[in-house]
Amino acid sequence: MRLVIIKHNAGNVCSVLYALKRLGVEATISDNPDKIRNAEKVIFPGVGEASTAMSYLKERGLDKVIIALKQPVLGICLGQQLLCSYSEEGAVNCLGVFPQQVKKFISPFHKIPQMGWNDIYNLKSPLFTGVYEHSFVYFVNGYYVECGLNTIASTNYILPFSASLQKDNFFTTQFHPEKSGDIGHKILENFLAI
């Protein structure tokens, strides 16, 4: 399988690569448009700041490459947020695959960013085959994606929000499957089987 992890300035590429190796899958890390276009599957990870990441993608033409992909794509954490229409983090227009907006958590009573294990529910996609309702996965996020028609899993921290999205060939997780133990490995296996 030709699996490419998109290399960019906000990627958590190494932890994703190691998780795939534990599943017996080799992947290439690349920011080469042709390698990304010709991959059988693409993973778009991210840990960092939205406006800086969008600038990097645009400078290299990767914004146009990503939205034109027809093979299965998995956006992780910031990767999910960048696939939405707009982020309050840096007040930036993003890739627009999903119409949802990314908003900042605001609460005087909760630690922000959310860091740790949280449950997911209302699971609605082949991405979650064999995953039980209210399974726990690992989150690190100070921003969230609103729930909407493309939400295929929800969670709750301060308020309900999208733990996962799907539209056509684009799948996302706000949580980190590569850091979510057996449940995360199952979700990655499901993505690889799509």
Catalytic residue positions? Answer: 77, 176, 178
167: which residues sit within 8 A by CB, 6+ positions away? 97, 98, 150
- What is the tally of helices (H) and strands (E) in the chain? 6, 13
- Longest Cα–Cα distance in the chain: 47
Q: Which of 188, 187, 185, 163 is nearest to 174 (CA)?
A: 163
Count of other CB atoms within 10 angstroms of residue 2: 13
Q: Compute the distance between CA of residue 62 and CA of residue 68 in angstroms, rounded to an integer.
A: 10
